[in-house]
A and B are shown apart, each in its own frame.
Chain A
Amino acid sequence: MADAAAGPGGSGTRPGSKQSTNPADNYHLARRRTLQVVVSSLLTEAGFESAEKASVETLTEMLQSYISEIGRSAKSYCEHTARTQPTLSDIVVTLVEMGFNVDTLPAYAKRSQRMVITAPPVTNQPVTPKALTAGQNRPHPPHIPSHFPEFPDPHTYIKTPTYREPVSDYQVLREKAASQRRDVERALTRFMAKTGETQSLFKDDVSTFPLIAARPFTIPYLTALLPSELEIQQMEETDSSEQDEQTDTENIALHISTQNSSLSGSRNGEESIIDNPYLRPVKKPKIRRKKLTLKQVLNSLNIIFDGLAAIVAEPGYR
């Protein structure tokens, strides 16, 4: 039965493959045939006497995908641990993962009624056509261990630059810079005009001199007064005097102090330097009665502190 099943199996599963000239196809067919033999023997083992061709095919398909899945999964596990060759444990983990009880495997393997199948005939591994090589691959330099992959073909990394004489003529440079800037500006403004609303000076033509539509700002003075990003950048490039920076930091400190003025109870020291009413902390609303008690609390705290200090200062302390 196995033979019967196996005989036409190849052509049955792959009805379209009329020519078996392709070595890769041959290889696949051979493996497939082996699997069919396996399935048939297993069926025999299970006590079947004959099987329909279709069912053998289905079982073969299932077996193939099962084994493929084991292989794929095992490979993943092995790669996960940064190896290239799957080990037994990878397979075991895979099987466990797939819900297979691994412990039953040795017993199954040693079962008495198992059939031994002859090894499939060795067929040629399909050969991948060689890429066109150009030049000699370079050997590894001494600091690279030999097990590292070889260098790729030289044409992929070796270059031979060609130089042109740099333009140093002032006039040309200026000319270039000017026209480049102009082109960029024109392109940019055209783009902005194309993508947004426009106004036009001519009723009949809206595209030759498109003006980006005037759009009112909510806070017009900000854009008008603050230097644009370009200018800021420029300013940074042209040196700013040191003195400015000094006053800046000084003022920033001041400014921070004003912003945090509500928290600045502890900043008494600094405030005595600059006594400006706008820098003083905002007072809490007065509650008549509390004013006195607060003072009293402070007083009593002072007394306590004094007492503590006295105790610490005492020679017998410790």
Chain B
Amino acid sequence: MPPTGIETSRMNRKKGDKGFESPRPYKLTHQVVCINNINFQRKSVVGFVELTIFPTVANLNRIKLNSKQCRIYRVRINDLEAAFIYNDPTLEVCHSESKQRNLNYFSNAYAAAVSAVDPDAGNGELCIKVPSELWKHVDELKVLKIHINFSLDQPKGGLHFVVPSVEGSMAERGAHVFSCGYQNSTRFWFPCVDSYSELCTWKLEFTVDAAMVAVSNGDLVETVYTHDMRKKTFHYTLTIPTAASNISLAIGPFEILVDPYMHEVTHFCLPQLLPLLKHTTSYLHEVFEFYEEILTCRYPYSCFKTVFIDEAYVEVAAYASMSIFSTNLLHSAMIIDETPLTRRCLAQSLAQQFFGCFISRMSWSDEWVLKGISGYIYGLWMKKTFGVNEYRHWIKEELDKIVAYELKTGGVLLHPIFGGGKEKDNPASHLHFSIKHPHTLSWEYYTMFQCKAHLVMRLIENRISMEFMLQVFNKLLSLASTASSQKFQSHMWSQMLVSTYGFLKSISNVSGKDIQPLIKQWVDQSGVVKFYGSFAFNRKRNVLELEIKQDYTSPGTQKYVGPLKVTVQELDGSFNHTLQIEENSLKHDIPCHSKSRRNKKKKIPLMNGEEVDMDLSAMDADSPLLWIRIDPDMSVLRKVEFEQADFMWQYELRYERDVVAQQESILALEKFPTPASRLALTDILEQEQCFYRVRMAACFCLAKIANSMVSTWTGPPAMKSLFTRMFCCKTCPNIVKTNNFMSFQSYFLQKTMPVAMALLRDVHNLCPKEVLTFILDLIKYNDNRKNKFSDNYYRAEMIDALANSVTPAVSVNNEVRTLDNLNPDVRLILEEITRFLNMEKLLPSYRHTITVSCLRAIRVLQKNGHVPSDSSLFKSYAEYGHFVDIRIAALEAVVDYTKVDRSYEELQWLLNMIQTDPVPYVRHKILNMLTKNPPFTKNMESPLCNEALVDQLWKLMNSGTAHDWRLRCGAVDLYFTLFGLSRPSCLPLPELGLVLNLKEKKAVLNPTIIPETGAGAQESASNAGCHAQLAGFQNPFSSSQDEEEVDMDTVHDSQAFISHHLNMLERPSTPGLSKYRPSSSRSSLMPQHSLGCDIIPPTKPPWSMELSRKGIGKEQPLEMGVHSMVAAPLSVFAKESTSSRHSEHHHHHHHEHKKKKKKHKHKHKHKHKHDSKDKDKEPFAFSSPASGRSVRSPSLSD
């Protein structure tokens, strides 16, 4: 937990102190990362780092760094051996003996564990003791160089190896490795200060096979062969101060492409993909030009690299001067659908280069600014590239997404402020995870967070104008680039960090406008607004009486007070009105401008100045109102449910030029299945000028309307004649024209219409035979020979259409599904699917879109009872080695099968895959899909819900996913979906002690008992997992500590423990003297660590197992004894925890200080034991620390 010192310093900053105060007692200026050896066969990495730091306080004696799963061989400070301990409480959040299975408890423990190593709180997993010889040096605040040798063996996160198992050398096989992770995850592959706020310059060196290329941040200075000429070393320097979290690496036999337009931009892809790379990146220079122009600022780095790799963690990851993309974004010129998506990814990554990489953030609570700005300028690029329609459509889509998410889960908070101890108004109490750290966030929440951030930026733009907005960005960038060119001056470099405060200040300086209410509403507060609108026209007064109600009591909503724009289209034109939404006013009177006089034939002026003829016969004769829109510019994050007559929606759809309005009216028309709606939709479908996405939406709406009016429907099935007219031959209307996708609008329409048509149902609720024949004919006559573009997406949609046409099988007394009783229509469908799927094996389509659709269709047939439900086909397609899209589609089917058939076996199979699959994205995706389509939920009785499953999932999130933040959060999400926040109902009733524990925890959480300063302490009290970092040292930021505390449960590897124990005791400079005498001159460093990699080393010596088991055994009786004492006075406990703050064991009920003595006793015993064991087993026990390590250190033991 953050010691009080830091807490206050952070609070100061919040209160308006402009400067950035580092949470660390030193300042990092430069870091060298050198990776000498990368072994693809063994998936291991060996190297060292050297950090140059300047102490900022006199008595700095311990340096905390971040490091996960790295094995540290030795640490030297200014060439002197330094002792270190390694402890990572996030490895196992709650200890295994704990019978607690409730998520509330876990989430608290997890948040505490994460903050225990959070660099933004000055913490870290690795704690290095400054050798006493340097104390004087430190007191003079002179430079320290920390040299750390480390290695990584089979990393499970942070660095991902892709090694295809084919013949040939690693380069020939296309083996590659790249860094990846969610938020600051650099600590997974080298020791560093893994914070976005600690900037320094970098020197990066990577020695790789001569056939490989190492791509990293900054400028490639030179490439030098090793002496044997078999390897080469890539030397990079990054002179722009950069946070470790923005450092990345990709090594592989990449093909190199220098951008023909910008020679300082280089693209890399895997072998054989160069032609695709050329096409894909040929557009990038335009994105560069756009951003540089609007920001009036050159791209901050001297070079830019794009690397396309396989098995990507995320599609786009932006790092300083380089971006890592999924290789699946590459496409050839024949592919239509992927092109805009890939370009969007490129643009997104480039926006993040400016805001996110070059400009970093001060703390996690400032993240929204960066995500907001990068998302916002990306939106501007969208507007310029794809047009205003696409932009507005996208904004609407994003708005709908965030609204839906917030209403579902209860709110996304952009700028969480964590005041000391005010847990009462914990901003995220509705969530099952903590939002204090990025690493505890659910992935979905984080995605929505980014979405909201850019929408809020757009709101700010609405308020202060785009010009000012861009000026603010320019100001931030120019400040940062001035700072970046400075030599190390800590106060200058902090200009490269953006904070919420600084950003807002900049806005008020530039625009002179007060946007505080806006910020308060959307940034400091979570929730969206929900409006209900209805109106009445008062003919006498010629006034529109608008009633706008709000729902601000449901979760995820908030009350809106302020201006609201309403646009009224009347006969005489379109008029904007700004209403003031206030506390109690619901009704608003809006005077109308025109009298109802539609006898005169007159053109009606629209909002955009256009004048059109309308057929006004549908209108209400008494009212001049054509349609009304609430908040047409989407300047509030809201959901609007507005009631107006069907003809008004129809007018709005036909004549309103805004695509958002058109879409809203399409949605509304679903409720009005009348011939007039049908006509309006058909007209839109036929209108070529209309935005293609609106037309696509109209297709589906038309299908729904047609189904609702099935008994009165006249003429051919909806859209059929339209499709025939647009896409079929004039002479033979049943044959579709040969494909020509030159016009993308009609291409998208051609793709969509059959899919929508397949949703049509006749009076028997079956898909009309006519429609099915029509679709089958489309497939039959599909001819792409003359087309410039690939038709793979089109064909895939045709299969989707076939799947859409499937209706539940009529089952006669539950007979088994066999071929004989197959419906003849289904037989035809199945024939097509079989052929398509088989053809894919011979002539695969781009991204295997057809296979994906076929798999989905087969699952639909299974679900509808036409084909026996079976998961084996999907399981075979889900195997590693298939293209990722296929795997995901197959896994989705298995997940669905698990749910429908309640199959325990499949669930186990999925869970097993979550743990073992080589691709992190697939693991994440399975969890995600299970969460979205859970086999059961917390309120449901299910045979799958049993104790074993609870244990399994608990283990998964507790320790099984420690190497991947995203995965762990995914596991937490799943656990929440299945069991909820409290103890799963399928577990047996907890024993007495645990019940009391729960109570106690609640009491601890109660802010009335714990004073303000107890923010950290209370976490320590309530959480078992975090105790380790409490081995705090007497640096100015940490409170006093029980020095002799050794927690046996965190000692995962006793061997390592012993070796370190010895190292601690030994002073490198005076080897013979101080052996076995704990020096307590300052504060002695007691090892309390789980060293080595983050899992238990695979070949752990048997005796060490025994040892740890014994340790546990020793504690067992103690635990028993504790149960009776849980009811100790809470106030006593609280006091104790704040004052002495001794480290807690995983027995969270160990709050009583009475225990202290007892514990000490047995701890000593342990120590003793270790020493004796040590002597027995280790012949090298007395050698120098360096040699001792080389023999016994855990890093080499296996």
A121 at the interface (CB under 8 A from B): no
A229-274, CB < 8 A from B: 229-231, 234-235, 237-238, 240, 244, 247-248, 250-251, 254-255, 258, 274
B867-896, CB < 8 A from A: 867-868, 870, 872-873, 876-877, 879-885
Given contacts A217-B881, A285-B226, contact A205 B258 (CB under 8 A): no
Are B847's CB and A185's CB within 8 A? Answer: no
Interface string of B823-856 (1 = CB under 8 A from A): 0000000110011011101111111100000000
A71 to B225, CA, bound (A): 75
Rounded to whole Å, the gap between the CB of A91 and the closest CB of chain B is 62
B80 contacts which chain A residues (CB < 8 A)?
Answer: none
A150 at the interface (CB under 8 A from B): no
Q: Which of B97-105, B561-569, B784-792, B1092-1100 lies at the binding interface?
A: B784-792
Rounded to whole Å, the gap between the CB of A78 and the closest CB of chain B is 57
> Taking CB as reference atom, which chain A residue is nearest B834?
A209
Rounded to whole Å, the gap between the CB of A7 and the closest CB of chain B is 79
A276 to B210, CA, bound (A): 19
Are A189's CB and B839's CB within 8 A? Answer: yes
A193 contacts which chain B residues (CB < 8 A)?
Answer: 838
A204 contacts which chain B residues (CB < 8 A)?
Answer: 818-819
Given contacts A213-B876, A274-B258, A276-B264, contact A224 B328 (CB under 8 A): yes
A214 at the interface (CB under 8 A from B): yes
Q: Which of A204, A228, A255, A277 has the most CB of B within 10 A?
A: A277
> Taking CB as reference atom, which chain B residue is nearest A239?
B788
Rounded to whole Å, the gap between the CB of B193 and the closest CB of chain A is 28
Given contacts A174-B781, A201-B870, A238-B786, contact A219 B164 (CB under 8 A): yes
B210 contacts which chain A residues (CB < 8 A)?
Answer: 282
B377 at the interface (CB under 8 A from A): no
Rounded to whole Å, the gap between the CB of A50 and the closest CB of chain B is 82
A220 to B164, CA, bound (A): 9
B846 contacts which chain A residues (CB < 8 A)?
Answer: 224-225, 227
Partner of B842, one of A189, A231, A240, A284: A189
B255 at the interface (CB under 8 A from A): yes
Q: Which of A205, A224, A284 has the most CB of B within 10 A?
A: A224
Partner of A220, one of B226, B788, B868, B881: B881
Interface string of A167-191 (1 = CB under 8 A from B): 0001100110111001001101100
Partner of A225, one of B282, B839, B847, B868: B847
A210 at the interface (CB under 8 A from B): yes
B586 at the interface (CB under 8 A from A): no
Given contacts A224-B883, A282-B232, contact A214 B876 (CB under 8 A): yes
Interface string of A38-61 (1 = CB under 8 A from B): 000000000000000000000000
Are B880's CB and A216's CB within 8 A? Answer: yes
Partner of A235, one of B328, B334, B842, B844: B334
> Taking CB as reference atom, which chain A residue is nearest B309?
A221
B729 contacts which chain A residues (CB < 8 A)?
Answer: 170-171, 174
Are A214's CB and B879's CB within 8 A? Answer: yes
B787 contacts which chain A residues (CB < 8 A)?
Answer: 234, 238
Are B224's CB and A201's CB within 8 A? Answer: no
Interface string of B806-819 (1 = CB under 8 A from A): 00000000000111
B861 contacts which chain A residues (CB < 8 A)?
Answer: 201
Are B879's CB and A171's CB within 8 A? Answer: no
Rounded to whole Å, the gap between the CB of B76 and the closest CB of chain A is 25
B276 at the interface (CB under 8 A from A): yes
B1111 at the interface (CB under 8 A from A): no
Are A230's CB and B843's CB within 8 A? Answer: yes
A178 to B868, CA, bound (A): 31
A14 to B104, CA, bound (A): 112
A258 contacts which chain B residues (CB < 8 A)?
Answer: 256
A85 at the interface (CB under 8 A from B): no
Rounded to whole Å, the gap between the CB of A213 and the closest CB of chain B is 7
A285 to B224, CA, bound (A): 6
A75 at the interface (CB under 8 A from B): no
Query: Which of under 10, 10 to 19, 20 to 34, or 35 or more describes the interface residues of A?
Result: 35 or more
Are B881's CB and A224's CB within 8 A? Answer: no
Partner of B224, one of A240, A279, A286: A286
A222 at the interface (CB under 8 A from B): yes
Partner of A224, one of B226, B784, B847: B847
Are B731's CB and A171's CB within 8 A? Answer: yes
A244 to B174, CA, bound (A): 27
> Taking CB as reference atom, which chain B residue is nearest A196?
B841
Partner of A211, one of B731, B818, B837: B837
Interface string of B972-1002 (1 = CB under 8 A from A): 0000000000000000000000000000000
Rounded to whole Å, the gap between the CB of B823 and the closest CB of chain A is 14
B223 at the interface (CB under 8 A from A): yes
| Residues of B in contact, count (CB < 8 Å) | 89
Are B272's CB and A222's CB within 8 A? Answer: yes
B1196 contacts which chain A residues (CB < 8 A)?
Answer: none
Rounded to whole Å, the gap between the CB of B34 and the closest CB of chain A is 16
> Taking CB as reference atom, which chain A residue is nearest B268?
A278
Are A231's CB and B819's CB within 8 A? Answer: no
A31 at the interface (CB under 8 A from B): no
Rounded to whole Å, the gap between the CB of B165 and the closest CB of chain A is 6
Rounded to whole Å, the gap between the CB of A272 and the closest CB of chain B is 11
Partner of B885, one of A201, A224, A230, A275: A224
B797 at the interface (CB under 8 A from A): no
B1038 at the interface (CB under 8 A from A): no
Given contacts A178-B781, A204-B819, A225-B328, contact A285 B225 (CB under 8 A): yes
Rounded to whole Å, the gap between the CB of A194 and the closest CB of chain B is 11
B166 at the interface (CB under 8 A from A): yes
Partner of A278, one of B256, B260, B276: B256
A167 to B881, CA, bound (A): 48
Are A217's CB and B882's CB within 8 A? Answer: yes
A113 at the interface (CB under 8 A from B): no
Are A238's CB and B843's CB within 8 A? Answer: no
B880 contacts which chain A residues (CB < 8 A)?
Answer: 216
A221 to B887, CA, bound (A): 12
A212 contacts which chain B residues (CB < 8 A)?
Answer: 837-838, 841
Interface string of B202-234 (1 = CB under 8 A from A): 000000001001000001111111110100100
A179 to B735, CA, bound (A): 13
Given contacts A193-B838, A238-B787, contact A279 B256 (CB under 8 A): yes
A81 at the interface (CB under 8 A from B): no
Are B783's CB and A223's CB within 8 A? Answer: no
Are A275's CB and B263's CB within 8 A? Answer: yes
Partner of A226, one of B225, B232, B272, B278: B272
Rounded to whole Å, the gap between the CB of B939 and the closest CB of chain A is 35
Partner of B166, one of A202, A218, A228: A218
Are B273's CB and A225's CB within 8 A? Answer: yes
Rounded to whole Å, the gap between the CB of A156 and the closest CB of chain B is 41
A274 contacts which chain B residues (CB < 8 A)?
Answer: 258, 263
B525 contacts which chain A residues (CB < 8 A)?
Answer: none
Given contacts A201-B830, A218-B166, contact A223 B790 (CB under 8 A): no
B645 at the interface (CB under 8 A from A): no
Given contacts A178-B781, A211-B837, A247-B278, contact A225 B256 (CB under 8 A): no
Are B260's CB and A238's CB within 8 A? Answer: no
Are B835's CB and A248's CB within 8 A? Answer: no
Partner of B220, one of A203, A235, A237, A277: A277
Name the 8 nearest CB pairs between A and B, nearest first.
A216-B881, A189-B838, A277-B220, A224-B883, A171-B732, A205-B819, A220-B883, A283-B224
Taking Cβ atoms with an 8 Å cutoff, the residues of A that contact B are 170-171, 174-175, 177-179, 182, 185-186, 188-189, 192-193, 199, 201-205, 208-231, 234-235, 237-238, 240, 244, 247-248, 250-251, 254-255, 258, 274-280, 282-286
Given known contacts A218-B164, A224-B846, what 15 new A-B pairs fall within 8 Å (CB)?
Answer: A201-B830, A201-B873, A204-B818, A214-B879, A221-B270, A221-B273, A221-B310, A221-B883, A226-B332, A238-B787, A238-B788, A251-B257, A274-B263, A275-B263, A285-B229
9 contacts across the A-B interface (CB closer than 8 A): A188-B839, A201-B870, A205-B819, A216-B879, A218-B881, A220-B884, A240-B333, A247-B282, A277-B221
